[in-house]
Structure 1
Amino acid sequence: MNLDEFLYKLHYETDQITPPDWQVNWEDAPLPYKLYEGLPVIHLDSGLPVSFSQKNKPTLTDLSHFLSYSYRITQVSQTFPSMETSESWTTYRRFVPSGGALYPNELYLYVRLEDFPTGIYHYDAAHHRLVCLREGNFDSYLERSLGERCDITSCFAAVFVSTFFWKNFFKYNNFSYRLQSLDAGFLIGQMLEVGKRNGFETCVYYHFLDSAINHLLGLNESEESVYAIMPLAKDQNMKWFDTIADQSLTTEQLSSELKSLHHKHYVRSKEIRPYHMLLNLNSACKLRSFSSINVYNEDVQKDVDGPVLTLPLVEPLTYPFNTACEKRYSPGLDFALKPLTTEPLAYLLNETAATSFYRNDLDQNKKSLTSRISIRFATNSVVGLQNGMYEMDSSCFQLKQIKLGDFRTALQDGLLSDFVNMPQIPLSFNISGSKDHYRKMFGYRGHRIQHMEVGILSHKLLLAASALHMNGHPILGFDVPYYDELFNLQQMGRTSLLQIPIGYYRPHPRLQGHLHS
């Protein structure tokens, strides 16, 4: 099938993109982390601080804590046998959510700290260490890969978020394409939050010369590719969006300046089945020069009808960040209905709206994320708010009433399998965006950008829920046309991108241990 047909079926007819005879070979599953072989390593500080220092000059310890909170393996969890399965299940978890706890993304860094070898490193999440891939100064190469829009010399590091295709394709087949972008967004959202608490200045770049960056990191593009780049700095007056200096520079011209890397790494899988559609889409997404780069200039269409309700005014939520990270997980069938007031709802929406003003190269700070991604939710047993469906208006912190009623059965009916008990959930959030998936401005690259932005916005919602002693469960396994009609999205050119039920929960029967000091 062609790419347009694939993306349509990926979203609306997911059963049509996976072969009917697809069998998951768990005995040959890949590792959920990448392990390089035979390269020099630098071990990082093993601690996980309760608070951050916010020094004027970041150190390796500060970078270590940033990586710990962002993507380190922090927990081992063993689930006991249940009515659904007769086997126990062990997973290695991190502070960010991931579909099936498979973590298809990897982190690489360009580090330029004082008294530290400048160069390109891979973050080994399993051992919490940096693996040196390429030593040397690559300021000019990286700046030109970003279109010379960012002064890398003013940064102390740059983080590259990649996707390793096989790590969740082995289970989800072609549906992994949506999960990979969404997981990358969750990870970026966590890094933005950790960076803010460290006093780092951050910016997310979605546009760069893909193959030049992959070449710098030594990635094999048939198995892995970078999706986003986040430079880290301390200079509050730094310029992030200079005009592109050389629009004619191509990936081939830049890549020819560096020799290729051929480092060995261990995957564990003995058979890696082909994923042609993922590679075709990744190729179609590539930016080969900056001659056609666009700035986002459209808004998600909003409804104008319906009563408006004002939420209680709340201050920014303060909470122990480490505790919220450690307690965050997806409850599944463990949700337990308890009465909820409008104050926690106000905190949830206030925190989510606040994170929408993140620095990025899509709109260059001209618009908020909620101008592109919208939040609607259905309520059940929220004291002071009628059961119904509402939309958040972040510009004035108000709710717009869409329709009243009890939608619990309808929400349950829309799930592709009963892995969440909707009747026990007070809030079910629907994250939606343009049905075009940013295609007019960014081509096929727009689909993965849109899903990364959904992940960024949703992760803040999940963190706030954990801080309020609740939790959320991100869901992609639902009937999209059914939910679009249920949430009145079709007439506005919007579509459901993610569903997140949030509520209180009972402890799950499992053994869990921390893997950090």
Structure 2
Amino acid sequence: MPVLKSGTASASTRSSQNHDTAYALNYHESTKHSEISLRTSGHYLDWANKPSQFKIYEDLTSVSLPRNFPQPEEEPLMAISGRTSKTEPLNLGLTELAELLYFSAGLTRKYRFGSELHYMRAASATGALYPIELYVVAGDVAGLAAGVYHFDPLGFQLSRIRKGDYRTELAAASNESITLAPATIAFTSMAWKNAWKYEARSYRHWFWDGGVIAANLISLSASMGSQTRIVQGFVDQAVNELLGLQDEEEATVCLSPVGPEGHPSTDRQPKRIDPIQPKVQPLSEEETKYAGIWEAHRASFLHTKEEVDTWTKASIEISNSQRTTFPKIALSPPMIEATKSRRLGEVILQRGSTRRFARSQITLSQLSTILRNSTGPIPRDYLPESGNLIATYFIANAVEGLAPGSYFYAPEQESLEQLKRGELRQMSAYLCLGQPLFGEASVVFFLMARLREVLGALGNRGYRTAQLEGGIVAGKIYLSAYALGLGASGSTFYDDAVTEFFSPHAKEKSTLIAVGLGVPAYKARPGKVLPQFT
């Protein structure tokens, strides 16, 4: 059970809305799924008004990215866990940046959907709508002039938004270590891309979708011999303005400094950031703004560097141990040799959301390896690396050596606690909105958190951190599954029904994301570096 303790908030934090957690709680409660809410929503998909897959700038200078970038060569399970076999980190040049961007959010598959050519990407996204955009604040990248750029995956190029080295300005609004990294990748969400289908609940998806990309980026950085960090403490308005984002259309989700520490910016004092409004093609003819999204998001803003520093220093202690009388099962030894012949780049290209499971068994060793690999420390600015906010529950439908039933994973003891025993395929499907796919899965994970305690420690911004961590763990489950030759697919869920099903153990916990795992019932074609990139 996580135990969280709040640090002392400064006067500036108290004067902001971040401490008034009614905003996050009201948003979460109002966007819960239930059988009644789905039956009475009245929402339909307006296909004629579907948002574009891509953000396209109309009048910016572009820099083509190298198309001869290498594929990540690290053994996948090692990289996914954030470890590396390299003794020296690779320097970050334009080719290495191209590799990071492509295997985080590049195009790996294409197909026709009616008259539309649709692209799939290196990391999964809810509804394949891809709301997450990546920006690069570059200062010391060999072959790339210092500047602020937007990554265009379709043209495989960088659109230059600002000239010059803005690392000092970004660090002044976030974390001082950013000045030492050659570049920082900023994740943003274009709200309408996902709200078109998922309405107000889509705010959760900003962090789910951002999290799975972050899982890729963490693995890729390890493959290059360095470590990135997920930064969620930043002055929102300053970072949004630096990137030229339009208010209530797009917002920053997190920052990730990449590459080995090198030459810091020569600017000792932040320079003035003039407002800009680059011309962008509209995503669709009409856009609906959901007030609840922006109300919750603004209520989690940090307005000054002092607020950022206070927020990142909040005291949080986490323990996943819990005294219970539930039967305990030890994990199997990790499958160290199973993926030594595989490479991270191959696994990322193979990854795709499984659409049909074979109802076959996976092994307890496979499940144990995925649990260990997916739930370890996440490098970040707001928590010590020894723990995370996520509690992992799952339904086991077909695991060799493990009785069917529901379980809790206790990472500190490396054991499973059996909560219920029996055939639960019907229940695992029901909890995931009645989707048969999740009754066919061998295992269905439900990633949960003690949300009220998280918000008590981190304020409304804690809602972002919990959801983002859920997305990162889900992304690691995806990658670990495909590394072991299995398949996976993410899902939404009936919120309160999940908590009730796993109670009393999960009492007071909120579900963040669900992921099905199993043996695919078909052989999917792997993705590839598409022809326009070779």
Relative to the length of structure 2, the TM-score reads 0.84
* 1:506 to 2:532 alignment: no
SS in 1 for 2:380: coil
Q: Quickly say closer, same or farther: Cα 1:13–1:307, change in 2 above 3 A.
A: closer
Contact 1:66–1:191 (8 Å) recurs in 2: yes
In structure 1, what is the equivalent of residue 378 of structure 2?
Answer: 358
Deviates most, 459-468 or 428-437: 428-437
Q: Map of 1:337-486 to 2, 5 A cutoff? A: 337-353=359-375, 356-365=376-385, 367-369=386-388, 372-418=389-435, 420-422=437-439, 424-436=440-452, 438-476=454-492, 478-486=493-501
What do the CA deviations read for 1:100-141 (whole angstroms, capped 9, x no partner)?
Answer: 100111101111213431010001111111111001122321
Aligned mates of 1:14, 1:217 — CA distance in 2: 40
Aligned mates of 1:492, 1:454 — CA distance in 2: 18
Q: Quickly say closer, same or farther: Cα 1:444–1:282, change in 2 above 3 A.
A: same
In structure 2, what is the equivalent of residue 328 of structure 1?
Answer: 351
Contact 1:300–1:433 (8 Å) recurs in 2: no
In structure 2, what is the equivalent of residue 140 of structure 1?
Answer: 168
- Using the TM superposition, give the Cα deviation of residue 430 of structure 1 relative to its aligned residue in structure 2, in angstroms: 1.5
What do the CA deviations read for 1:214-269 (whole angstroms, capped 9, x no partner)?
Answer: 11111112211101011113149x99xxxxxxxxxxxxx98x92111111011341
Deviates most, 265-274 or 461-470: 265-274
Aligned mates of 2:257, 2:481 — CA distance in 1: 28
Gaps of 5+ in 2: 1-21, 74-85
Contact 1:106–1:164 (8 Å) recurs in 2: yes
Q: Map of 1:44-443 to 2, 5 A cutoff? A: 44-47=65-68, 49-52=70-73, 56-78=90-112, 91-112=118-139, 113-146=141-174, 149-235=175-261, 257-289=272-304, 290-291=306-307, 292-293=310-311, 294-299=313-318, 302-305=321-324, 306-316=326-336, 317-318=339-340, 319-332=342-355, 334-353=356-375, 356-365=376-385, 367-369=386-388, 372-418=389-435, 420-422=437-439, 424-436=440-452, 438-443=454-459
Q: Quickly say closer, same or farther: Cα 1:315–1:337, change in 2 above 3 A.
A: closer
Aligned mates of 1:311, 1:301 — CA distance in 2: 16
Aligned mates of 1:159, 1:322 — CA distance in 2: 20
Q: Quickly say closer, same or farther: Cα 1:489–1:271, change in 2 above 3 A.
A: farther
- Using the TM superposition, give the Cα deviation of residue 487 of structure 1 relative to its aligned residue in structure 2, in angstroms: 1.8
SS in 2 for 1:106: strand
Deviates most, 12-21 or 500-509: 12-21
SS in 2 for 1:265: coil
SS in 1 for 2:102: helix
What do the CA deviations read for 1:283-342 (whole angstroms, capped 9, x no partner)?
Answer: 11111022352525143665422222222222545332222212222223x111223222
Q: Quickly say closer, same or farther: Cα 1:412–1:364, change in 2 above 3 A.
A: closer
**Given residue 407 of structure 2, which amino acid in structure 1 is its aligned partner?**
Y
- Using the TM superposition, give the Cα deviation of residue 14 of structure 1 relative to its aligned residue in structure 2, in angstroms: 8.6
**Given residue 322 of structure 1, which amino acid in structure 2 is its aligned partner?**
G
Q: Quickly say closer, same or farther: Cα 1:201–1:384, change in 2 above 3 A.
A: closer
Using CA pairs under 8 Å that are at least 6 residues apart, name the structure with larger relative contact order, 1 or 2. Answer: 2
Q: Quickly say closer, same or farther: Cα 1:95–1:489, change in 2 above 3 A.
A: farther
Gaps of 5+ in 1: 80-86, 240-252
- Using the TM superposition, give the Cα deviation of residue 5 of structure 1 relative to its aligned residue in structure 2, in angstroms: 2.9
Aligned mates of 2:528, 2:118 — CA distance in 1: 11
Q: Quickly say closer, same or farther: Cα 1:490–1:284, change in 2 above 3 A.
A: farther
In structure 2, what is the equivalent of residue 22 of structure 1?
Answer: 43
Q: Quickly say closer, same or farther: Cα 1:114–1:37, change in 2 above 3 A.
A: same
Contact 1:201–1:232 (8 Å) recurs in 2: yes
SS in 1 for 2:165: coil
SS in 1 for 2:491: coil
Contact 2:405–2:424 (8 Å) recurs in 1: yes
- Aligned residues: CA RMSD: 2.9
Aligned mates of 1:287, 1:463 — CA distance in 2: 33
- Using the TM superposition, give the Cα deviation of residue 153 of structure 1 relative to its aligned residue in structure 2, in angstroms: 3.4
SS in 1 for 2:452: coil
Contact 1:91–1:101 (8 Å) recurs in 2: no
Aligned mates of 2:429, 2:203 — CA distance in 1: 25
Deviates most, 396-405 or 87-96: 87-96
**Given residue 413 of structure 1, which amino acid in structure 2 is its aligned partner?**
Y
**Given residue 68 of structure 1, which amino acid in structure 2 is its aligned partner?**
Y
Q: Quickly say closer, same or farther: Cα 1:183–1:401, change in 2 above 3 A.
A: same
- Using the TM superposition, give the Cα deviation of residue 18 of structure 1 relative to its aligned residue in structure 2, in angstroms: 11
Contact 2:57–2:280 (8 Å) recurs in 1: yes
Q: Quickly say closer, same or farther: Cα 1:195–1:512, change in 2 above 3 A.
A: closer
Aligned mates of 1:328, 1:311 — CA distance in 2: 25
- Using the TM superposition, give the Cα deviation of residue 455 of structure 1 relative to its aligned residue in structure 2, in angstroms: 0.6
Aligned mates of 1:312, 1:170 — CA distance in 2: 43
SS in 2 for 1:201: coil
- Number of equivalences: 485
Relative to the length of structure 1, the TM-score reads 0.86
Aligned mates of 1:39, 1:412 — CA distance in 2: 47
Aligned mates of 1:312, 1:232 — CA distance in 2: 34
Aligned mates of 1:474, 1:37 — CA distance in 2: 34
Aligned mates of 2:119, 2:520 — CA distance in 1: 21
- Using the TM superposition, give the Cα deviation of residue 38 of structure 1 relative to its aligned residue in structure 2, in angstroms: 1.5
Q: Quickly say closer, same or farther: Cα 1:421–1:260, change in 2 above 3 A.
A: closer
